[in-house]
Protein backbone atom coordinates (compact mmCIF):
# COMPACT_ATOMS: atom_id res chain seq x y z
CA UNK A 1 0.00 0.00 0.00
CA UNK A 2 2.78 2.40 0.86
CA UNK A 3 4.61 1.78 -2.40
CA UNK A 4 1.40 2.37 -4.34
CA UNK A 5 0.60 5.52 -2.38
CA UNK A 6 4.08 6.87 -3.15
CA UNK A 7 4.12 5.94 -6.82
CA UNK A 8 4.51 9.65 -7.63
CA UNK A 9 7.48 9.77 -5.29
CA UNK A 10 7.90 10.08 -1.56
CA UNK A 11 6.34 13.21 -0.06
CA UNK A 12 8.75 16.12 0.16
CA UNK A 13 8.55 19.23 2.34
CA UNK A 14 11.01 21.82 3.61
CA UNK A 15 12.33 19.52 6.37
CA UNK A 16 12.90 16.83 3.73
CA UNK A 17 15.21 19.19 1.88
CA UNK A 18 17.25 19.70 5.05
CA UNK A 19 17.69 15.94 5.60
CA UNK A 20 18.72 15.33 1.99
CA UNK A 21 21.02 18.34 1.77
CA UNK A 22 22.75 17.47 5.05
CA UNK A 23 23.38 13.94 3.77
CA UNK A 24 24.92 15.15 0.52
CA UNK A 25 26.96 17.86 2.19
CA UNK A 26 28.29 15.31 4.68
CA UNK A 27 29.63 13.27 1.77
CA UNK A 28 31.08 16.41 0.24
CA UNK A 29 33.11 17.03 3.38
CA UNK A 30 31.04 19.92 4.75
CA UNK A 31 29.56 17.99 7.66
CA UNK A 32 25.87 17.75 8.43
CA UNK A 33 24.89 21.15 7.16
CA UNK A 34 22.82 23.29 4.84
CA UNK A 35 24.66 25.45 2.31
CA UNK A 36 23.20 28.85 1.49
CA UNK A 37 23.17 30.47 -1.93
CA UNK A 38 26.81 31.47 -1.80
CA UNK A 39 28.03 28.15 -0.42
CA UNK A 40 28.19 29.40 3.17
CA UNK A 41 27.96 26.48 5.60
CA UNK A 42 25.02 26.48 8.02
CA UNK A 43 25.36 23.56 10.50
CA UNK A 44 22.26 21.39 10.86
CA UNK A 45 21.02 21.74 14.45
CA UNK A 46 17.22 21.94 14.36
CA UNK A 47 16.98 18.33 13.18
CA UNK A 48 18.45 15.18 14.72
CA UNK A 49 21.22 13.60 12.60
CA UNK A 50 20.45 9.88 12.17
CA UNK A 51 18.26 10.04 9.06
CA UNK A 52 20.74 12.25 7.22
CA UNK A 53 23.61 9.92 8.17
CA UNK A 54 21.70 6.93 6.77
CA UNK A 55 20.83 8.82 3.58
CA UNK A 56 24.49 9.77 3.24
CA UNK A 57 25.36 6.08 3.42
CA UNK A 58 22.95 5.38 0.57
CA UNK A 59 24.42 8.19 -1.54
CA UNK A 60 27.92 6.86 -0.81
CA UNK A 61 27.09 3.59 -2.59
CA UNK A 62 25.40 5.32 -5.52
CA UNK A 63 21.74 5.25 -4.41
CA UNK A 64 19.81 8.50 -4.63
CA UNK A 65 18.84 9.65 -1.13
CA UNK A 66 15.24 10.46 -2.04
CA UNK A 67 14.66 7.11 -3.74
CA UNK A 68 16.31 5.30 -0.84
CA UNK A 69 14.12 7.11 1.70
CA UNK A 70 11.03 5.65 0.03
CA UNK A 71 12.42 2.12 0.42
CA UNK A 72 13.55 2.88 3.98
CA UNK A 73 10.08 4.04 5.01
CA UNK A 74 8.53 0.93 3.48
CA UNK A 75 10.94 -1.28 5.42
CA UNK A 76 10.25 0.66 8.62
CA UNK A 77 6.49 0.23 8.25
CA UNK A 78 6.89 -3.50 7.68
CA UNK A 79 9.14 -3.76 10.74
CA UNK A 80 6.64 -1.80 12.83
CA UNK A 81 3.84 -4.19 11.91
CA UNK A 82 5.95 -7.16 13.00
CA UNK A 83 7.18 -5.44 16.16
CA UNK A 84 3.69 -4.39 17.26
CA UNK A 85 2.45 -7.92 16.64
CA UNK A 86 5.31 -9.40 18.68
CA UNK A 87 4.86 -6.90 21.52
CA UNK A 88 1.10 -7.43 21.62
CA UNK A 89 1.52 -11.20 21.68
CA UNK A 90 4.04 -10.83 24.49
CA UNK A 91 1.82 -8.49 26.49
CA UNK A 92 -1.40 -10.48 26.05
CA UNK A 93 -0.04 -14.03 25.83
CA UNK A 94 -2.40 -14.41 22.88
CA UNK A 95 -1.46 -15.00 19.25
CA UNK A 96 -4.91 -13.78 18.24
CA UNK A 97 -4.52 -10.39 19.89
CA UNK A 98 -0.99 -10.16 18.51
CA UNK A 99 -2.30 -10.73 14.99
CA UNK A 100 -5.10 -8.23 15.55
CA UNK A 101 -2.66 -5.56 16.74
CA UNK A 102 -0.39 -6.12 13.75
CA UNK A 103 -3.24 -5.99 11.22
CA UNK A 104 -4.61 -2.74 12.62
CA UNK A 105 -1.17 -1.13 12.42
CA UNK A 106 -0.73 -2.43 8.87
CA UNK A 107 -3.99 -0.77 7.90
CA UNK A 108 -3.68 2.42 9.93
CA UNK A 109 -4.01 5.52 7.79
CA UNK A 110 -2.30 7.52 10.54
CA UNK A 111 0.93 5.59 10.09
CA UNK A 112 0.59 5.54 6.31
CA UNK A 113 0.46 9.35 6.32
CA UNK A 114 3.63 9.50 8.40
CA UNK A 115 5.49 7.00 6.21
CA UNK A 116 4.63 8.64 2.92
CA UNK A 117 6.89 11.58 3.80
CA UNK A 118 10.66 11.91 3.79
CA UNK A 119 10.79 12.61 7.50
CA UNK A 120 12.33 10.95 10.55
CA UNK A 121 9.16 9.58 12.17
CA UNK A 122 9.23 6.15 10.43
CA UNK A 123 12.78 5.47 11.59
CA UNK A 124 12.00 6.74 15.08
CA UNK A 125 8.88 4.58 15.47
CA UNK A 126 10.67 1.42 14.35
CA UNK A 127 13.59 2.01 16.71
CA UNK A 128 11.31 2.79 19.66
CA UNK A 129 9.31 -0.40 19.19
CA UNK A 130 12.50 -2.43 18.70
CA UNK A 131 13.94 -1.03 21.92
CA UNK A 132 10.79 -1.87 23.86
CA UNK A 133 10.75 -5.44 22.55
CA UNK A 134 14.45 -5.89 23.35
CA UNK A 135 13.90 -4.76 26.96
CA UNK A 136 10.96 -7.15 27.28
CA UNK A 137 13.17 -9.97 26.04
CA UNK A 138 15.86 -8.95 28.51
CA UNK A 139 13.33 -8.97 31.33
CA UNK A 140 12.51 -12.61 30.58
CA UNK A 141 15.86 -14.05 29.50
CA UNK A 142 18.27 -11.82 31.49
CA UNK A 143 20.81 -11.88 28.68
CA UNK A 144 22.89 -8.73 28.43
CA UNK A 145 22.77 -8.99 24.64
CA UNK A 146 19.10 -8.01 24.72
CA UNK A 147 19.89 -5.15 27.07
CA UNK A 148 22.53 -3.96 24.62
CA UNK A 149 20.02 -4.08 21.77
CA UNK A 150 17.55 -2.09 23.85
CA UNK A 151 20.13 0.56 24.76
CA UNK A 152 21.25 0.83 21.14
CA UNK A 153 17.70 1.12 19.80
CA UNK A 154 16.65 3.82 22.29
CA UNK A 155 19.92 5.68 21.74
CA UNK A 156 19.44 5.64 17.97
CA UNK A 157 15.81 6.70 18.39
CA UNK A 158 17.03 9.76 20.29
CA UNK A 159 19.38 10.48 17.38
CA UNK A 160 16.49 10.12 14.93
CA UNK A 161 14.20 12.64 16.65
CA UNK A 162 14.75 15.00 19.55
CA UNK A 163 11.42 13.71 20.86
CA UNK A 164 13.23 10.50 21.78
CA UNK A 165 15.66 12.17 24.16
CA UNK A 166 13.70 10.90 27.17
CA UNK A 167 13.45 7.30 25.92
CA UNK A 168 16.73 6.16 27.53
CA UNK A 169 15.54 7.68 30.83
CA UNK A 170 12.24 5.78 30.53
CA UNK A 171 14.15 2.57 29.80
CA UNK A 172 16.52 3.15 32.72
CA UNK A 173 13.60 3.75 35.09
CA UNK A 174 11.96 0.53 33.92
CA UNK A 175 15.16 -1.40 34.57
CA UNK A 176 15.88 0.12 37.98
CA UNK A 177 12.34 -0.45 39.28
CA UNK A 178 12.28 -4.12 38.19
CA UNK A 179 12.44 -6.14 41.44
CA UNK A 180 13.29 -9.35 39.61
CA UNK A 181 17.03 -8.82 40.04
CA UNK A 182 19.40 -7.59 42.71
CA UNK A 183 19.57 -3.86 43.32
CA UNK A 184 23.20 -3.68 42.24
CA UNK A 185 22.46 -5.26 38.88
CA UNK A 186 19.47 -2.98 38.37
CA UNK A 187 21.63 0.07 38.99
CA UNK A 188 24.26 -1.23 36.58
CA UNK A 189 21.60 -1.93 33.93
CA UNK A 190 20.03 1.50 34.34
CA UNK A 191 23.41 3.20 34.17
CA UNK A 192 24.28 1.26 31.02
CA UNK A 193 21.00 2.32 29.43
CA UNK A 194 21.69 5.98 30.19
CA UNK A 195 25.32 5.78 29.11
CA UNK A 196 24.66 4.09 25.76
CA UNK A 197 21.34 5.78 25.12
CA UNK A 198 22.10 9.37 26.07
CA UNK A 199 25.81 9.83 25.30
CA UNK A 200 25.45 10.01 21.47
CA UNK A 201 22.71 12.64 21.76
CA UNK A 202 24.68 14.62 24.33
CA UNK A 203 27.67 14.59 21.98
CA UNK A 204 25.50 15.78 19.08
CA UNK A 205 23.97 18.59 21.13
CA UNK A 206 27.40 19.62 22.43
CA UNK A 207 28.54 19.88 18.82
CA UNK A 208 25.50 22.04 18.05
CA UNK A 209 26.16 24.34 20.98
CA UNK A 210 29.82 24.68 20.05
CA UNK A 211 28.96 25.67 16.48
CA UNK A 212 25.86 27.81 16.97
CA UNK A 213 25.33 28.47 20.67
CA UNK A 214 22.11 26.40 20.64
CA UNK A 215 21.96 22.73 21.58
CA UNK A 216 18.92 21.83 19.49
CA UNK A 217 18.36 24.69 17.10
CA UNK A 218 15.89 26.37 19.46
CA UNK A 219 16.25 28.77 22.35
CA UNK A 220 14.37 28.70 25.64
CA UNK A 221 11.08 30.58 25.56
CA UNK A 222 7.91 30.25 27.60
CA UNK A 223 4.63 29.97 25.66
CA UNK A 224 2.17 28.78 28.29
CA UNK A 225 -0.60 30.71 26.58
CA UNK A 226 -0.36 28.13 23.78
CA UNK A 227 -1.34 25.28 26.12
CA UNK A 228 -5.11 25.29 25.34
CA UNK A 229 -4.39 25.13 21.61
CA UNK A 230 -1.69 22.47 21.96
CA UNK A 231 -3.87 20.41 24.31
CA UNK A 232 -6.93 20.56 22.05
CA UNK A 233 -4.92 19.71 18.93
CA UNK A 234 -3.36 16.68 20.59
CA UNK A 235 -6.68 15.48 22.03
CA UNK A 236 -8.53 15.82 18.74
CA UNK A 237 -5.83 13.90 16.87
CA UNK A 238 -5.58 11.09 19.42
CA UNK A 239 -9.37 10.71 19.76
CA UNK A 240 -9.74 10.55 15.96
CA UNK A 241 -7.55 7.44 15.90
CA UNK A 242 -10.17 5.40 17.72
CA UNK A 243 -13.50 7.23 17.32
CA UNK A 244 -15.64 8.59 14.45
CA UNK A 245 -15.11 12.25 13.63
CA UNK A 246 -18.65 13.18 14.70
CA UNK A 247 -18.00 11.80 18.17
CA UNK A 248 -14.61 13.54 18.29
CA UNK A 249 -16.21 16.85 17.29
CA UNK A 250 -18.83 16.44 20.02
CA UNK A 251 -16.22 15.64 22.67
CA UNK A 252 -14.10 18.62 21.68
CA UNK A 253 -17.15 20.89 21.79
CA UNK A 254 -17.85 19.88 25.40
CA UNK A 255 -15.17 21.41 27.68
CA UNK A 256 -16.49 19.42 30.63
CA UNK A 257 -16.09 16.09 28.86
CA UNK A 258 -12.58 16.98 27.71
CA UNK A 259 -11.63 18.04 31.23
CA UNK A 260 -12.95 14.77 32.68
CA UNK A 261 -11.02 12.68 30.16
CA UNK A 262 -7.81 14.61 30.79
CA UNK A 263 -8.34 14.33 34.52
CA UNK A 264 -8.89 10.57 34.35
CA UNK A 265 -5.77 10.12 32.22
CA UNK A 266 -3.69 12.23 34.58
CA UNK A 267 -5.08 10.45 37.64
CA UNK A 268 -4.31 7.05 36.14
CA UNK A 269 -0.72 8.05 35.45
CA UNK A 270 -0.33 9.51 38.94
CA UNK A 271 -1.76 6.41 40.64
CA UNK A 272 0.45 4.12 38.58
CA UNK A 273 3.47 6.26 39.41
CA UNK A 274 2.73 6.09 43.13
CA UNK A 275 2.16 2.34 43.00
CA UNK A 276 5.47 1.85 41.22
CA UNK A 277 7.18 3.25 44.29
CA UNK A 278 5.95 0.32 46.40
CA UNK A 279 7.84 -2.96 46.24
CA UNK A 280 4.66 -5.03 46.35
CA UNK A 281 3.27 -3.34 43.24
CA UNK A 282 6.57 -3.71 41.43
CA UNK A 283 6.69 -7.41 42.27
CA UNK A 284 3.15 -7.83 40.98
CA UNK A 285 4.04 -6.07 37.74
CA UNK A 286 7.31 -7.99 37.39
CA UNK A 287 5.40 -11.25 37.63
CA UNK A 288 2.86 -10.24 34.99
CA UNK A 289 4.06 -9.89 31.40
CA UNK A 290 1.02 -7.86 30.40
CA UNK A 291 1.40 -5.33 33.21
CA UNK A 292 5.14 -5.14 32.72
CA UNK A 293 4.68 -4.50 29.02
CA UNK A 294 2.05 -1.83 29.65
CA UNK A 295 4.37 -0.07 32.09
CA UNK A 296 7.28 -0.07 29.63
CA UNK A 297 5.21 0.97 26.62
CA UNK A 298 3.39 3.56 28.71
CA UNK A 299 6.70 4.99 29.91
CA UNK A 300 7.90 5.31 26.31
CA UNK A 301 4.64 6.98 25.33
CA UNK A 302 4.70 9.48 28.20
CA UNK A 303 8.38 10.28 27.70
CA UNK A 304 7.78 11.16 24.06
CA UNK A 305 4.69 13.24 24.80
CA UNK A 306 6.56 15.00 27.58
CA UNK A 307 9.32 16.13 25.23
CA UNK A 308 6.83 17.16 22.52
CA UNK A 309 4.75 19.28 24.91
CA UNK A 310 7.87 20.77 26.51
CA UNK A 311 9.18 21.80 23.09
CA UNK A 312 5.82 23.33 22.20
CA UNK A 313 5.52 25.34 25.42
CA UNK A 314 9.09 26.11 26.48
CA UNK A 315 11.12 26.62 23.30
CA UNK A 316 11.37 29.37 20.73
CA UNK A 317 10.16 28.93 18.11
CA UNK A 318 7.59 26.58 19.63
CA UNK A 319 7.48 23.09 18.13
CA UNK A 320 4.45 21.95 16.14
CA UNK A 321 1.99 19.43 17.56
CA UNK A 322 0.27 17.86 14.57
CA UNK A 323 -0.70 14.45 13.21
CA UNK A 324 2.78 13.73 11.90
CA UNK A 325 4.54 14.69 15.13
CA UNK A 326 2.09 12.61 17.17
CA UNK A 327 2.25 9.58 14.85
CA UNK A 328 4.80 7.76 17.10
CA UNK A 329 2.17 7.81 19.86
CA UNK A 330 -0.29 5.71 17.84
CA UNK A 331 1.42 2.27 17.94
CA UNK A 332 2.35 2.71 21.62
CA UNK A 333 -1.15 3.74 22.64
CA UNK A 334 -2.63 0.97 20.50
CA UNK A 335 -0.54 -1.59 22.38
CA UNK A 336 -1.91 -0.31 25.69
CA UNK A 337 -5.46 -0.52 24.31
CA UNK A 338 -4.91 -4.08 23.04
CA UNK A 339 -3.54 -5.14 26.42
CA UNK A 340 -6.63 -3.68 28.10
CA UNK A 341 -9.01 -5.42 25.70
CA UNK A 342 -7.19 -8.72 26.19
CA UNK A 343 -7.46 -8.36 29.97
CA UNK A 344 -11.21 -7.80 29.72
CA UNK A 345 -11.58 -10.73 27.29
CA UNK A 346 -9.84 -13.07 29.71
CA UNK A 347 -12.44 -12.34 32.42
CA UNK A 348 -14.45 -15.04 30.57
CA UNK A 349 -17.69 -13.14 31.00
CA UNK A 350 -19.98 -13.57 27.97
CA UNK A 351 -21.25 -10.02 28.34
CA UNK A 352 -17.74 -8.59 28.50
CA UNK A 353 -16.60 -10.66 25.54
CA UNK A 354 -19.55 -9.49 23.47
CA UNK A 355 -18.68 -5.92 24.40
CA UNK A 356 -15.04 -6.40 23.42
CA UNK A 357 -16.11 -8.00 20.15
CA UNK A 358 -18.43 -5.12 19.29
CA UNK A 359 -15.76 -2.55 20.14
CA UNK A 360 -13.25 -4.34 17.92
CA UNK A 361 -15.73 -4.55 15.04
CA UNK A 362 -16.46 -0.83 15.28
CA UNK A 363 -12.77 -0.01 15.58
CA UNK A 364 -11.73 -2.15 12.62
CA UNK A 365 -14.56 -0.66 10.55
CA UNK A 366 -13.39 2.83 11.50
CA UNK A 367 -9.76 2.07 10.66
CA UNK A 368 -10.58 0.40 7.34
CA UNK A 369 -12.71 3.36 6.28
CA UNK A 370 -9.99 5.83 7.18
CA UNK A 371 -7.36 3.70 5.44
CA UNK A 372 -9.47 3.54 2.27
CA UNK A 373 -9.92 7.29 2.01
CA UNK A 374 -6.29 7.89 2.98
CA UNK A 375 -5.03 5.64 0.17
CA UNK A 376 -7.37 7.31 -2.32
CA UNK A 377 -6.20 10.75 -1.27
CA UNK A 378 -2.49 9.98 -1.14
CA UNK A 379 -2.49 7.92 -4.32
CA UNK A 380 -4.09 10.67 -6.39
CA UNK A 381 -0.98 12.86 -6.38
CA UNK A 382 2.35 13.27 -4.66
CA UNK A 383 2.62 15.28 -1.47
CA UNK A 384 4.44 18.58 -1.19
CA UNK A 385 7.19 19.03 -3.76
CA UNK A 386 6.41 15.58 -5.18
CA UNK A 387 3.01 16.87 -6.29
CA UNK A 388 2.01 17.23 -9.93
CA UNK A 389 1.98 21.03 -9.78
CA UNK A 390 5.56 21.17 -8.56
CA UNK A 391 6.75 18.43 -10.93
CA UNK A 392 5.45 20.44 -13.89
CA UNK A 393 6.43 23.87 -12.57
CA UNK A 394 7.25 26.28 -15.39
CA UNK A 395 9.19 28.45 -12.96
CA UNK A 396 11.43 25.54 -11.96
CA UNK A 397 12.04 24.67 -15.62
CA UNK A 398 13.02 28.26 -16.31
CA UNK A 399 15.45 28.29 -13.38
CA UNK A 400 17.13 25.13 -14.67
CA UNK A 401 17.41 26.58 -18.20
CA UNK A 402 18.68 30.01 -17.04
CA UNK A 403 21.10 28.59 -14.46
CA UNK A 404 21.60 31.89 -12.58
CA UNK A 405 24.88 32.48 -10.80
CA UNK A 406 23.07 33.15 -7.53
CA UNK A 407 19.42 32.83 -6.52
CA UNK A 408 17.26 34.63 -4.00
CA UNK A 409 13.89 32.95 -3.46
CA UNK A 410 10.88 32.63 -1.18
CA UNK A 411 11.15 28.80 -1.30
CA UNK A 412 14.70 27.50 -0.92
CA UNK A 413 13.48 23.90 -0.49
CA UNK A 414 11.77 23.92 -3.90
CA UNK A 415 14.89 25.34 -5.55
CA UNK A 416 17.08 22.68 -3.92
CA UNK A 417 14.86 19.62 -4.40
CA UNK A 418 13.53 20.39 -7.89
CA UNK A 419 16.23 22.53 -9.52
CA UNK A 420 19.19 21.07 -7.59
CA UNK A 421 20.45 24.55 -6.76
CA UNK A 422 21.44 26.34 -3.58
CA UNK A 423 19.81 29.68 -2.84
CA UNK A 424 19.38 32.55 -0.41
CA UNK A 425 16.10 33.36 1.28
CA UNK A 426 14.74 36.70 0.06
CA UNK A 427 15.61 39.30 2.73
CA UNK A 428 12.02 40.18 3.63
CA UNK A 429 11.31 36.56 4.63
CA UNK A 430 14.13 36.44 7.20
CA UNK A 431 13.06 36.47 10.88
CA UNK A 432 15.27 39.46 11.73
CA UNK A 433 14.20 41.58 8.74
CA UNK A 434 13.77 45.27 9.53
CA UNK A 435 11.26 47.02 7.20
CA UNK A 436 12.97 50.34 7.92
CA UNK A 437 16.14 49.13 6.20
CA UNK A 438 14.53 48.46 2.81
CA UNK A 439 16.81 50.74 0.80
CA UNK A 440 20.04 49.33 2.23
CA UNK A 441 18.92 45.69 1.96
CA UNK A 442 17.61 46.14 -1.57
CA UNK A 443 20.85 47.79 -2.69
CA UNK A 444 22.91 44.95 -1.23
CA UNK A 445 20.78 42.27 -2.89
CA UNK A 446 20.95 44.03 -6.26
CA UNK A 447 24.74 44.36 -5.99
CA UNK A 448 25.05 40.61 -5.34
CA UNK A 449 22.71 39.81 -8.24
CA UNK A 450 24.63 42.04 -10.66
CA UNK A 451 28.02 40.79 -9.55
CA UNK A 452 27.10 37.11 -9.90
CA UNK A 453 24.56 37.25 -12.73
CA UNK A 454 21.79 36.23 -10.36
CA UNK A 455 18.00 36.16 -10.25
CA UNK A 456 15.14 36.49 -7.79
CA UNK A 457 12.75 33.52 -8.02
CA UNK A 458 9.36 34.11 -6.43
CA UNK A 459 6.74 31.38 -6.37
CA UNK A 460 3.08 32.34 -6.23
CA UNK A 461 1.91 35.85 -7.10
CA UNK A 462 5.47 37.17 -7.15
CA UNK A 463 4.59 40.43 -5.43
CA UNK A 464 7.30 42.40 -3.68
CA UNK A 465 6.64 43.54 -0.10
CA UNK A 466 5.73 47.08 0.87
CA UNK A 467 8.66 49.45 0.34
CA UNK A 468 10.38 47.37 -2.32
CA UNK A 469 10.47 48.61 -5.89
CA UNK A 470 10.73 46.83 -9.22
CA UNK A 471 12.65 49.78 -10.66
CA UNK A 472 15.86 47.79 -10.18
CA UNK A 473 14.33 44.42 -11.04
CA UNK A 474 12.76 43.47 -14.36
CA UNK A 475 10.65 40.45 -15.16
CA UNK A 476 12.79 37.83 -16.84
CA UNK A 477 10.21 35.05 -16.83
CA UNK A 478 6.52 35.27 -15.97
CA UNK A 479 4.95 31.86 -15.36
CA UNK A 480 1.59 30.75 -14.04
CA UNK A 481 3.18 29.59 -10.77
CA UNK A 482 5.81 32.25 -10.23
CA UNK A 483 8.07 34.94 -11.60
CA UNK A 484 11.82 35.33 -12.13
CA UNK A 485 13.15 38.84 -11.65
CA UNK A 486 16.49 40.01 -13.01
CA UNK A 487 18.58 42.98 -11.83
CA UNK A 488 19.06 46.13 -13.88
CA UNK A 489 21.51 49.01 -13.68
CA UNK A 490 18.70 51.53 -13.18
CA UNK A 491 19.34 53.94 -10.33
CA UNK A 492 15.81 55.30 -9.88
CA UNK A 493 13.47 53.84 -7.33
pTM of the full structure:
0.92
Average pLDDT of the segment spanning 405-414: 94
The pLDDT value recorded for residue 493 is 45
The pLDDT value recorded for residue 286 is 64
pLDDT tens digits along 55-112: 999 999 999 999 999 999 999 999 999 999 999 999 999 999 999 999 999 988 889 9
Residue 490 pLDDT level (bands cut at 50, 70, 90): low
Supply the DSSP string of 410-440, one letter for each residue. S-HHHHHHHH----EEPGGGSTT--GGGHHH
The pLDDT value recorded for residue 259 is 81
The CA distance from 249 to 246, in Å, is 5
pLDDT tens digits along 296-337: 999 999 999 999 999 999 988 888 899 999 999 999 999 999
Residue 366 pLDDT level (bands cut at 50, 70, 90): confident
pLDDT tens digits along 234-292: 999 999 998 888 888 888 888 888 788 888 888 877 877 776 667 676 666 666 667 78
The CA distance from 153 to 167, in Å, is 10
The CA distance from 40 to 29, in Å, is 13
The pLDDT value recorded for residue 369 is 83
**Cβ atoms 67, 88 nearer than 8 A:** no
Mean pLDDT (the chain, rounded): 89
| Backbone torsions φ then ψ of 176, nearest 5 degrees | -70, -35
Average pLDDT of the segment spanning 162-190: 89
Average pLDDT of the segment spanning 116-122: 96
Percent share of the chain, pLDDT over 90: 60
Cα three-residue angle 468-474-477, rounded to 5 degrees: 120
Amino acid sequence: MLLWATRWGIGLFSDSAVYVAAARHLLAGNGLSWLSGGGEIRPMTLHAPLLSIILAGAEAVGIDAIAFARALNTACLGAEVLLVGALAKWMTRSAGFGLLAALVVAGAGELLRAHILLMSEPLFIALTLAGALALMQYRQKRRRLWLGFGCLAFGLAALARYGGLALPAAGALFLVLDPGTALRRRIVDGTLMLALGVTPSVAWMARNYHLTGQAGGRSFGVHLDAWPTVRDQAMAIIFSWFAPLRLVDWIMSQPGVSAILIGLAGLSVAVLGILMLTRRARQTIAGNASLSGVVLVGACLLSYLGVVFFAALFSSPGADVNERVLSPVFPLLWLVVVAGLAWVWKRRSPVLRVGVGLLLILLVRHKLGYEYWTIRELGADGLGYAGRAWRSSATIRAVVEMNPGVIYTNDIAAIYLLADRLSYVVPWALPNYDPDSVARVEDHMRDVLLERDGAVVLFGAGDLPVGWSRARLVVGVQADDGVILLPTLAETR
